[in-house]
Copies of this chain bind each other. A is one copy, B any other.
């Protein structure tokens, strides 16, 4: 067994059984090793698709995928979606091919400082020293990525370590993996006192607290105390829809967010921080809470929110209370012109049971998702890092993670262009992804932000950097070029009908929602 085979065997043994790959010459032995029948290999035509897909996989499976990237530049191409995954607390094991150690001496063209490129966005970086230590290094990487919260582990694999004999695999004990900590009971008790008082309180849930038993416990606490439950504007994954405990969403715009948070005496955070503005603006605050609001960190990022919220529910005597739940919304089949409301209604009426929504609709979808609160139960995934081009790759990974569920990726036209190569992988793998492109021919969010920034009235050149017409992107041709069938809709009825049709059509589809 050579080093590459040992690496793949160790990944599989440690539970990492998918690799999103964009290989190059230095990774040929790794490629050969991918023929391990327990490893699924998925080819991506651009590295940002690979790392984003690994993020999507983690969001749905709560365990890391691996990526295979080609030297420093291959890693660089994947970094933006590694940033997004990191901010989403997604674990990921990146394998970065590298020249053999002896060859690096000669400064070959593809040489770069891979550790330097990896460190700013990785929690853990290691260069494999020898094929003999590769199993240990790989198991360590998986251990790092698999903790709570998930972490970015980057393993640099020199060619010689890949092709030399690995000897017997030695791996660290799996007990080295870190489990989530149990929250301190003093904090639980203090928050219980606050929730028993008549002062207003809002619990803001983040990361893994927005789903499963943690969400149910939060629903019990709200039922028992009347406190409000909310999330940041962006969440890594929320279980929502009819029958689930509903969470309010803190608005994106600074003015709306401060208004939303005004009058709240206590903000209680669970696996997240107090709300802050996404960007900085002249003369607008970074902190969004009111001046007299007190923030309490109930459950820290590395703690177990299910245990913590259940402890809190028990402390409140609400352990058996019926949780607050969302009623189903009965929407008449939408029709007429495409507006934010009619789009939301079409979406809401078409979300299938157990659907997965990946949202990168910066303007069109932003203010409308609240209208989908009463849709059939589904998961909602947001971009946590703010780097554009996360949507279609994350949808790709989520669809691979959950082959029996329909993924609906709603994405602006500007955003979709960053990592549009995702469509090809969706077509190759026959993934059940419906990509909905909001085609408004502009970076509409930037038009709003231009004015938010107080940058005056855009001149012709500035405006040309915000409009993405000239030429208009032909989304039907784009989809077809990569083997994805596509349709264009110009009214809400057609959008609704096409969404329903895609729900029951296996494989990927694209719907262009023409807004211009």
Contacts and interface: CB of A to CB of B under 8 A. Distances in A.
A32 interface: yes
Contacts of A113: 120
A354 interface: no
Contact of A41 (B159, B461, B482): B461
A121 interface: yes
A458 interface: yes
Interface string A227-244: 000000010000000000
Interface string A456-469: 10111110111010
Given A121-B112, A278-B109, A280-B159, A31 B417 contact: no
Interface residues of A, number: 106
A117 interface: yes
Copies in the complex: 2
Contacts of A277: 103, 108
A286 interface: yes
A453 B77 contact: no
A160 interface: yes
A362 to B, nearest CB: 10
Contacts of A418: 45-46, 77, 421
B21 A465 contact: yes
B43 A465 contact: yes
Interface string A1-38: 00000000000000000000101111011011011000
A73 interface: yes
B120 A72 contact: yes
A79 B79 CA distance: 9
Max chain B Cβ within 10 angstroms of own Cβ: one of A387, A446, A449 = A387
Interface stretch (A196-204, A471-479, A496-504): A471-479
B459 A32 contact: yes
B462 A35 contact: yes
Given A280-B103, A468-B43, A480 B482 contact: no
Contacts of A468: 43, 45
Contacts of A282: 159-160, 163
Contact of A464 (B41, B80, B427): B41
Interface in A330-376: none
Contacts of A72: 83, 120-121
B34 A461 contact: yes
Given A77-B80, A475-B481, A109 B34 contact: no
A185 interface: no
A402 interface: no
A28 B449 contact: yes
A362 B456 CA distance: 48
A415 to B, nearest CB: 10
Nearest to A103: B280
Nearest to A281: B159
A186 interface: no
A99 interface: yes
Contact of A108 (B32, B80, B279, B446): B279
A57 interface: no
A450 interface: yes
A421 B428 contact: no
Contacts of A453: 25, 28-29, 163
B461 A280 contact: no
Contacts of A424: 417, 471, 473
A506 B98 CA distance: 43
Contacts of A160: 280, 282
A100 interface: yes
Contact of A428 (B273, B286, B471, B476): B471
Given A32-B462, A70-B388, A109-B384, 4 more contacts: A79-B79, A105-B286, A107-B273, A110-B387
9 contacts: A25-B449, A26-B280, A28-B449, A29-B455, A32-B450, A32-B455, A32-B459, A79-B79, A116-B119
* Those 5 A-B pairs whose CB atoms lie nearest each other, nearest first: A471-B483, A103-B280, A73-B387, A35-B459, A116-B120
Interface of A: 21, 23-26, 28-29, 31-32, 34-35, 39, 41, 43, 45-46, 48, 70-74, 76-77, 79-80, 83-84, 87, 99-100, 102-103, 105-110, 112-113, 116-117, 119-121, 159-160, 163, 234, 273, 276-282, 286-287, 384-389, 414, 417-418, 420-421, 424, 427-428, 443, 445-446, 449-450, 452-456, 458-462, 464-466, 468, 470-478, 480-483
